[in-house]
């Protein structure tokens, strides 16, 4: 499966997730917490857990890499194990609360190894609205073709 086809599988699952998650947002919950762990748990992990459900329905497995830690930016690394055996790294980075990025790259046997030849980089906004986060990821992935 080509890298673009792999990104399309991820997008397909995210569209299903977005359709399930569309709900009114409580405007009182828009204030960014001072603790980045709260944002990661309440927004980022929630969105990725919901995406994981839809990826599973397509035969793929999305899981957080708990061996990865970054005490500076607090953002997680996810592994997407595609049904064909390929692995994609979904690495969130940035400087909370100012920046958030998602880099998707082909996974290799050593976790610190990646290829910039097969990489998608998406700029995201930091906010407490899970729908906006998911839509930003989808919009960013649209740049990489279908």
Q: Closest Cα to residue 88, out of 77, 104, 74, 72?
A: 104
pTM: 0.82
Instruction: Judge whether 114 and 108 are in contact, CB under 8 Å.
Output: yes
Q: What is the DSSP letter of 33?
A: P
40 pLDDT tier (thresholds 50, 70, 90): very high
Tell me the β-bridge partners of 121: 103
C-alpha 91/C-alpha 70 separation (Å) is 11
End-to-end CA distance of the chain: 13
Domain boundaries, the chain: 3-142
What would the pLDDT profile of 48-76 be if each residue is shown by its tens digit? 999 999 999 999 999 999 999 888 878 99
Question: Of residues 23 and 84, which shows the higher confidence score?
Answer: 84
Over residues 26-52, the mean pLDDT reads 87
């Amino acid at each position: 499966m080509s890298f673009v086809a792999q990104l399309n599988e991820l997008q397909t699952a995210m569209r299903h997730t977005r359709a399930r998650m569309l709900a009114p947002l409580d405007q009182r919950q828009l204030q960014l917490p001072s603790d980045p762990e709260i944002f990661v748990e309440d927004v980022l992990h929630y969105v990725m857990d919901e995406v994981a459900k839809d990826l599973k329905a397509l035969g793929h497995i999305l899981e957080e890499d708990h061996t990865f830690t970054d005490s500076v930016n607090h953002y997680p690394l996810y592994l997407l194990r595609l049904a064909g055996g390929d692995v994609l790294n979904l690495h969130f980075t940035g400087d909370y609360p100012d920046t958030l990025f998602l880099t998707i790259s082909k996974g290799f046997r050593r976790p610190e190894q990646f290829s910039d030849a097969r990489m998608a980089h998406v700029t995201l906004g930091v906010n407490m609205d899970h729908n906006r986060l998911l839509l930003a990821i989808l919009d960013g992935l649209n740049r990489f073709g279908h």
